[in-house]
């Protein structure tokens, strides 16, 4: 039976004008006593934390999620059934395609047609403050104190979680899905063809000059041995997970993650893109591009285009930027991904080197709206609290125990050489698991203790074997090589400041990215055009933009 609805972004957009006209009228519980709502009937009684089912009768919860699965597939999903049976609830899914989740949320909130619960959403800190102050998102503090035993344990053992998610007014309006992925924290990586290095007798490059010499050798010395000069020394792609080349290549000169271009020095927020070191980095990349060492398609091709190049019969890729190498090579048996190793952060001419760091949260997944009755809000926090237990987190991603995973056995060891807590079947990633798991949909709590407690696999092609490889590469080459202070991606501002920063952000970032490409490709010249470029940024109110973020960072530091 179809118990939910699928939100099609194009369909909503077509009727948004009509919906906006009634946005002020919202069907909900405003003005009613706590726990009451129009035509809801008698409210269920929510039981104490740790008691299951969670109420004296079945509780129906309408929840927004981002998923590629259809409503019918989620309804019959084994993890859905497990959660519903364990908690005594019935989930009615409002489904948005993951690529349309942000737009769908915006339209639902604008129209007033949002559900009582956001379970797998994408809420920015700005949205949390804005909708929280309007009363659309309910404060979760009291609900957590009353029903969130697991959440309180998390806040106690990992205080940074609570500190990061509390809005300026002290309220918690949303919960993130916590996934402390060690290699993801340092995802700005350059992968280089170790086979080619060995064939040409070259060492792993450690400096910008050494990389230049290696790329020249890749271009001129036929490392793939086919007698043709078809090698692409360095490539990447646009609009995918850390596949752009400029983040890694600029970081030997000044800290850059290709996001908001902030760096921090002695507590002061600065804009990297106007500093002399940025200019030096542009000149270095211009040199590589001018000499044909950078793929000419690097600023236009998608990840699909890069993967097509990687799949040629003769391997032509010398080095490539990506969050992990199997984004480029598929990882199947016989794949070329094993020929590549990560390059440590390069040392620039001044001796500076930095790894890009992405350790803070990005967006929040869970929230309760003013459409929820008191009982629904309490049931929802019990749901979120349970989903963040180790039991539910593992089943969310890996399915039921003893099917693809089991508890560790003697002789099995984790990433730290300790007895493994869990073991995953090497065939898991090749199995059809769609109907058994949520694949991290919703909220979960995968801290490093859990992620790194699984038995290391002897099979390098398996999921766990590959995770171990990424862990080792990151630990040995990137860990703790970020600056002492980096600007957090998960930071709160008051509504007025957030709206002003958002207005300034798009034109400033677009201007930086456009000029970045123009300087590298030679459309502009750093000698002739640098001053005009900097003045152009100032005209976009760069100083005010930095000032807003400085104020937000000052408050952030005070709360730590």
DSSP letters, 77-112, are -HHHHHHHHHHTEEEEEEEE-GGGHHHHHHHHHHHT
CATH number of the domain to which 119 belongs: 3.40.190.10
- Mean per-residue pLDDT over the chain, rounded: 92
Model confidence pLDDT, tens digit, residues 43-94: 999 999 999 999 999 999 999 999 988 888 999 999 999 999 999 999 999 9
Q: Identify whether residues 263 and 366 lie together within a single domain.
A: no
Q: Do 455 and 414 touch, CB atoms closer than 8 A?
A: yes
Residues of the chain by 3-state class (helix, strand, coil), percent to 5: 40, 15, 45
Q: Identify whether residues 21 and 154 lie together within a single domain.
A: yes
Q: Identify whether residues 352 and 288 lie together within a single domain.
A: yes
Q: Identify whether residues 249 and 290 lie together within a single domain.
A: yes
Alpha-carbon span 62 to 476, nearest angstrom: 46
Alpha-carbon span 352 to 347, nearest angstrom: 6
Q: Of 394, 413, 445, which residue constitutes the final position of a domain?
A: 394
pTM: 0.90
Q: Of 394, 409, 442, which residue constitutes the final position of a domain?
A: 394
Strand runs labelled E in 97-164: 117-120
Q: Identify whether residues 37 and 160 lie together within a single domain.
A: yes
Tokens representing 539?
A: 């005209």
Domain-located, residue 213:
yes
Q: Identify whether residues 168 and 199 lie together within a single domain.
A: no
pLDDT at 458: 80
Q: Do 355 and 251 touch, CB atoms closer than 8 A?
A: yes
pLDDT at 19: 40
Q: Identify whether residues 274 and 342 lie together within a single domain.
A: yes
Q: Identify whether residues 203 and 128 lie together within a single domain.
A: no
Q: Identify whether residues 227 and 304 lie together within a single domain.
A: yes
β-pair partners for 5 = 94
160: Cβ–Cβ under 8 A, 6 or more apart, which residues? none
Domain-located, residue 19:
yes
Domain-located, residue 462:
no
pLDDT at 283: 99
pLDDT at 34: 40
Q: What residue numbers bound the domain in which 499 lies?
A: 187-356+493-559
Domain-located, residue 283:
yes
Kind of pairing between the strands at 117-120 and 59-66: parallel
Q: Do 37 and 381 touch, CB atoms closer than 8 A?
A: no
pLDDT at 7: 65
User: Domain count of the chain?
Assistant: 2
355: Cβ–Cβ under 8 A, 6 or more apart, which residues? 186, 188, 251, 345, 478, 479, 481, 482
Domain-located, residue 467:
no
Q: Identify whether residues 388 and 322 lie together within a single domain.
A: no
pLDDT at 445: 98
Alpha-carbon span 248 to 286, nearest angstrom: 15
pLDDT at 362: 74
β-pair partners for 325 = none
Query: Which ranges of the chain have pLDDT less than 50?
Result: 1, 10-40
Domain-located, residue 434:
no
- One DSSP character per residue, 359-396 reads -S---EEEEEBTTS-HHHHHHHHHHHHHHTSHHHHHHH
Q: Identify whether residues 282 and 343 lie together within a single domain.
A: yes
Q: Do 181 and 451 touch, CB atoms closer than 8 A?
A: yes
Alpha-carbon span 218 to 215, nearest angstrom: 5
Assign 306 to helix, strand or coil: helix
Domain-located, residue 415:
no
């Amino acid at each position: 039976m179809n118990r939910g609805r699928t939100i099609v972004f194009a369909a909503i957009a077509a009727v948004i004008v009509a919906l906006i006209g009634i946005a002020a009228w919202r069907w909900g519980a405003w003005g009613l006593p706590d726990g009451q709502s129009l035509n809801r009937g008698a409210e269920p009684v929510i039981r104490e934390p740790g008691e299951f089912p969670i109420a004296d009768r079945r509780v129906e919860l309408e929840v927004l999620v981002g998923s590629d699965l259809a409503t019918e597939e989620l309804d019959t999903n084994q993890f859905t059934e497990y959660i519903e049976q364990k908690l005594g609830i019935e989930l009615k899914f409002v489904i948005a395609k993951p690529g349309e989740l942000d737009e769908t949320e915006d339209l639902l909130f604008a129209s007033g047609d949002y559900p009582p619960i956001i379970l797998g959403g994408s809420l920015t800190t700005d949205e949390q403050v804005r909708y929280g102050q309007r009363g659309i998102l309910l404060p979760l503090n009291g609900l957590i104190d009353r029903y969130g035993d697991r959440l309180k344990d998390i806040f106690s053992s990992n205080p940074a979680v609570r500190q990061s998610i509390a809005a300026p007014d002290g309220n918690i309006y949303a919960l993130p899905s916590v996934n402390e992925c060690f290699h993801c924290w340092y995802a700005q990586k350059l992968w280089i063809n170790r086979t080619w290095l060995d064939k040409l007798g070259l060492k792993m490059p450690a400096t910008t000059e050494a990389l230049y010499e290696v790329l020249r050798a890749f271009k001129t010395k036929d490392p793939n041995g086919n007698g043709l000069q078809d090698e692409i020394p360095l490539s990447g792609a646009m609009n995918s997970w850390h596949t752009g080349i400029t983040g890694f290549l600029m970081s030997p000169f000044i800290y850059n993650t290709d996001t908001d271009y902030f760096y921090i020095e002695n507590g002061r927020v600065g804009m990297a893109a106007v500093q002399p070191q940025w200019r030096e980095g542009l000149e270095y990349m211009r040199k590589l591009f001018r000499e044909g060492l950078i793929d000419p398609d690097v600023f236009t091709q998608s990840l699909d285009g890069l993967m097509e190049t990687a799949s040629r019969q003769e391997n032509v890729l010398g080095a490539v930027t990506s969050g992990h190498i199997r984004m480029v090579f598929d990882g199947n048996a016989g794949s070329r991904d094993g020929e590549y190793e990560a390059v440590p952060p390069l040392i620039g001419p001044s001796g500076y080197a930095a790894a890009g760091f992405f350790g803070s949260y990005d967006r929040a997944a869970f929230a309760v709206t003013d459409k929820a009755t008191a009982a629904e809000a309490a049931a929802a926090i019990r749901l979120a609290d349970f989903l963040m237990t180790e039991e539910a987190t593992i089943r969310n991603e890996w399915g039921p125990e003893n099917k693809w995973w089991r508890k560790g056995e003697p002789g099995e060891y984790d990433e730290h050489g300790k007895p493994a807590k869990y073991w995953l079947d090497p065939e898991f990633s090749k199995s059809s698991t769609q109907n058994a798991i949520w694949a991290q949909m919703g909220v979960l709590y995968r801290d490093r203790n859990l992620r790194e407690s699984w038995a290391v696999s002897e099979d390098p092609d398996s999921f766990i074997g590959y995770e171990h490889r990424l862990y080792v590469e990151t630990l040995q080459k990137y860990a703790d090589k970020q600056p002492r202070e980096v600007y957090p991606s998960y930071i709160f501002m008051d509504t007025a400041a957030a709206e002003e920063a958002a207005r300034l952000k798009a034109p400033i970032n677009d201007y930086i990215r456009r000029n970045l490409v123009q300087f590298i490709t030679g459309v502009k010249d750093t000698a002739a055009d640098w001053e005009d470029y900097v003045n152009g940024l100032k005209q976009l109110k760069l100083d005010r933009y930095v000032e807003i973020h400085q104020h937000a960072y000052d408050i952030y530091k005070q709360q730590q």
